[in-house]
Structure 1
């Protein structure tokens, strides 16, 4: 008996294939999929691949889903296999209703009708009546092999020719209407006109390769240029992607990246040029349902749109649409074809290598989102900048994963402050024009100046700032009682800085646990605390970080706050000063907003102190201080 497609889809979704197949086949990870020796034929080299929703053997060709595997390996009929899997998945197999049985039969009939129509259209393309359409495809650079692979065809004149051609197969005009291939003539009962006429035809397939509808391109000046079939029992425009049946296999086999282009010809040209992971929505913006289908194939597809106004609008709509759907394992990249060209035109003009360069330059979503949101924004005024900053934060807040949302806010706001901060004027060297240098006298000729020392690069400056913060922490480890949470948030440079950070945090956690075990209740918030610098140094040396510790405490360039005799308040202020530069402006703004929220809720001294420290760090950062200015004193280890 027929079962509802939505039930079968849910059953497949609730039955992960790797564990199911792993009961009978030893599987090993191979990228995003699994592989093993095929259970259906004897082989020594694994050619049996298991994906999220299907398996395929490249040796014997066996292919199927969870239901098919259970039928083949257990020797069960379809119904029994479904019942066994449903029991394991906690689903109840629905009982057949007359209406459901009729719907299933009609869907099967529609697929058969659409397949028969596609065969007729392919014949007409090669006939004299389709010569105009074939010439058009040839001018677009398509080969005979590509035309056949995508099943391209010609619709005919539209005067009932399709119904006449399919009549010998027992297909009635009513069935053509149900399949979206014809429509009734108003006021004339039982009379139908073809939906498509005088168009190059593009069969639209579902992910299983079954034809569900057609798209047609008119030749000449008629409108609309592209026309998709209407919604039917087997076709939903918002859930279907052109080329997905071919692209998913290429992506699963590791032959291609998943590329989302704009239209039929872009997809076909990309496949012909070797980019076999290309798909496209059906003439509209991407929908959430289509994005879900895309992410089932690839966690990081590339959206490739034209650089014209329409392409940028489509990119903006897509970026806005995907934000509530993002996760740590599902994102998007944006590639742009410049010069007003689409991928099809670029490949024909400059070849596949030019398009590969476009793919290689694809931007992460966070970068593209900022570019799209900043386009045309009035950022000259404080009001305009404030509105833009609020919009950036609001966009990031749409992400359900709180940690990911925080990272997006940080990335977007860091770039906002970097690009909107006014440039500091350069101070002229020497005295002002017309004045002698301070302390000079008429006729005095000062000694020649040495060229100024070049300022350290961004990476070396960050490394030195991390060294200073670690030195303060190492000399005054009692600070960890107050700054532990903030210290853990920092992303210090890889290598000795990050290794020391992890070791210091682990040591502090151990000290706190030891104090709790000994029921020590005295607060450790001063230099007399049990958090002793010598103990921390011994811990670092015992864990093999003696060289890293020596690098931190070398007696050059360290601030006075890292001296052992520095006052507690002085050391604490210095620590927060360097924290601000290492944290970054965007993240500091977020930290300050959260700290103020905590202060409103708790209204205690610790929350107030945190707000003050963060405000001071942010102010120092915005003044352009680095914490590495000349005059910093050195500290002995």
Structure 2
């Protein structure tokens, strides 16, 4: 039987927005600070049912029903209280507590710790206004902190004495071990007497979900202190990575202002913004944003603004936040980044230039994808094709980190477009072939889009091609038109291999990017395959096929996947192991290249080289005949052997030429 403590229920409600929960059952529309819809309790034509995220409640004016998300499920879904809590806990990702004597003891202990922290907060606040706190008050006045800010944030002062707080709380009846566990006292490991953790520091109470004090942050007044800021240690009440300073109040202000939450670096930034009328700011507690803190932000604000100094340290902090957030992005949930003038934090800017300057910085906040893109193109030299290819590959790896499929696809498309704009190819000469999949395509799809003309970097006249030896001059463009059904099968096999085994696109990226197909249907199909994988690198074969059936190449896909000739090849079957698939792909690619391009190139070159009489003509004719025959499969052989025989014949032809004509 689950036992639901007040702390657990508070955490549950803090994690879920009423409009999200109730919106699953009632169609809601935003009006002002509230959501409105038709009453779920009685039929009506005019909306009288309202949901207020800021207050965490709903109210029906026609029936006077009122409550929170738990009571809503009880009243509208017929659930019991435990059933309602269990359903909501599943939505919030909370593990249900188990009722036991140990759990009851922990709840009682937590209550005692919270009471000790509340008493300590009152003590610190009183000390600020006494003689011992004069230096702390002078510091606050120097930072232009007003009495209103001091009261709103419960700012206090911890005296220099090692036992001031300890003596006060012991006299209030708190046990020494409770004060140690609450993080208020330090117990030496050698067994000596405990003493105050915070001394000679300005104190900032940290509040939990129930607006109760759960920890403290202290700012040292001594410039020689080892730590300028000191937080409470981890306790049963306080987990630093799950808490944001001023979150509860900022969430309410964000709902009132209809503006996103602002994340600053420190307490004083939050307090300064509050004093300037910007009350929706929070701060992590001395560390980079954690996953828990990001999730907390997104429960109340779809696109919170992270505000950083404009110096290198601020930019690096922004980059760390991007790396942490990337995998967690969801539809509609992201981050924006506002960068302050170098060397200034929000407190500095407000005091030097006023709230208008701060609002200007916030209005110019940049989306996460923009900051990510700027980082990636600024940290590397992109003057060579290899470096631009490295950028493309790295961006693809970043996109893969995004777990949500829709966001991952959107990022792939966005970065693809930015790459296309950044490295736009030079205009083609009039009449030159497009090659590949056309100009202006997806840079993730086609290596030619990185700059220069399509086909740059391929071996030219008299060059050596990797794995093939000497290569004669390439023709200006592939020979148009299909010569035989076998050519369609040859091209289709390469496309089907990628469809059934998308990992081939990663292992043989360059080969697929540079692949020229004659059949327009297969060319379009391959273009869609490459585009889909570029947009969503995590697509498997089933997901890829599902996507392709919704595009204009669905007919070609149907023909390719059901062609009986293709089905005879083991490497084209979906269940074949990838190593065997890869070997089959290499053979098919080699055969395609020799059949479609190289045989034509060499035969054409051979007839043009030898023009010195009858003997030369005969040598050329013999060489051409041998080359053509070498590319034909043996009756009982494997088509994959023909490239090897072609290469042997090519070498033999070269030796004949050199021997007979001294070339």
Q: Provide the residue aligned with 2:411 in structure 1.
A: 408
Which of 109, 129, 133 does residue 132 from structure 2 map onto?
A: 129
Q: Displacement of 1:239 after TM fit? A: 0.4
Structure-to-structure mapping, 1:446-465, within 5 angstroms: none
| 2:181 is equivalent to residue 178 of structure 1 | yes
Q: Displacement of 1:87 after TM fit? A: 7.4
Per the alignment, in what secondary structure is the counterpart of residue 318 of structure 2? helix
Per the alignment, in what secondary structure is the counterpart of residue 308 of structure 2? strand
TM-score w.r.t. structure 2 length?
Answer: 0.60
Q: Distance in 2 between matches of 1:289 and 1:195?
A: 27
Q: Displacement of 1:398 after TM fit? A: 1.3
Which of 183, 207, 210 does residue 208 from structure 1 map onto?
A: 210
Which of 119, 122, 126 does residue 122 from structure 2 map onto?
A: 119
**Further displaced range: 16-25 or 316-325:** 16-25
Which of 265, 273, 293 does residue 296 from structure 2 map onto?
A: 293
Q: Displacement of 1:399 after TM fit? A: 1.4
TM-score w.r.t. structure 1 length?
Answer: 0.62
1:105-161: CA deviation from partner (whole Å, max 9, x where unpaired): 111111111111001000101111011111111111111101110001101114111
Change (3 A) 1:294 1:614: closer
Per the alignment, in what secondary structure is the counterpart of residue 324 of structure 1? helix
Q: Distance in 2 between matches of 1:185 and 1:86?
A: 42
Q: Displacement of 1:414 after TM fit? A: 3.0
* Conserved? CA contact 2:304–2:335, under 8 Å: yes
Per the alignment, in what secondary structure is the counterpart of residue 368 of structure 1? helix
Q: Provide the residue aligned with 2:198 in structure 1.
A: 196
Q: Provide the residue aligned with 1:29 in structure 2.
A: 30
Aligned residues, how many? 456
Per the alignment, in what secondary structure is the counterpart of residue 257 of structure 2? coil
* Conserved? CA contact 2:206–2:214, under 8 Å: yes
Change (3 A) 1:37 1:152: farther
Q: Provide the residue aligned with 2:523 in structure 1.
A: 609
Q: Distance in 1 between matches of 2:237 and 2:317?
A: 27
Q: Provide the residue aligned with 1:332 in structure 2.
A: 335
Structure-to-structure mapping, 1:363-512, within 5 angstroms: 363-420=366-423
* Conserved? CA contact 1:598–1:607, under 8 Å: no
Structure-to-structure mapping, 1:37-116, within 5 angstroms: 49-51=51-53, 54-55=56-57, 65-67=68-70, 82-83=81-82, 85-86=84-85, 96-116=99-119
* Conserved? CA contact 1:573–1:613, under 8 Å: no
1:519-575: CA deviation from partner (whole Å, max 9, x where unpaired): xxxxxxxxxxxxxxxxxxxxxxxxxxxxxxxxxxxxxxxx99xxxxxxxxx9x9899
Structure 2: any 5+ residue segments left out of the alignment? 41-45, 451-491, 501-516, 532-663
Q: Distance in 2 between matches of 1:26 and 1:407?
A: 27
1:300-336: CA deviation from partner (whole Å, max 9, x where unpaired): 1111111122211111111011111111120111110
Q: Displacement of 1:596 after TM fit? A: 11
Cα-Cα RMSD:
4.6
Change (3 A) 1:36 1:219: farther
Q: Distance in 2 between matches of 1:31 and 1:359?
A: 22
Q: Displacement of 1:279 after TM fit? A: 0.7
Per the alignment, in what secondary structure is the counterpart of residue 253 of structure 1? helix
Q: Distance in 1 between matches of 2:32 and 2:11?
A: 25
Per the alignment, in what secondary structure is the counterpart of residue 331 of structure 1? coil
Change (3 A) 1:303 1:19: closer
Larger-gyration structure (1/2): 2
Q: Distance in 1 between matches of 2:387 and 2:332?
A: 34
Structure 1: any 5+ residue segments left out of the alignment? 75-79, 428-558, 561-569, 618-637
Q: Provide the residue aligned with 1:509 in structure 2.
A: none
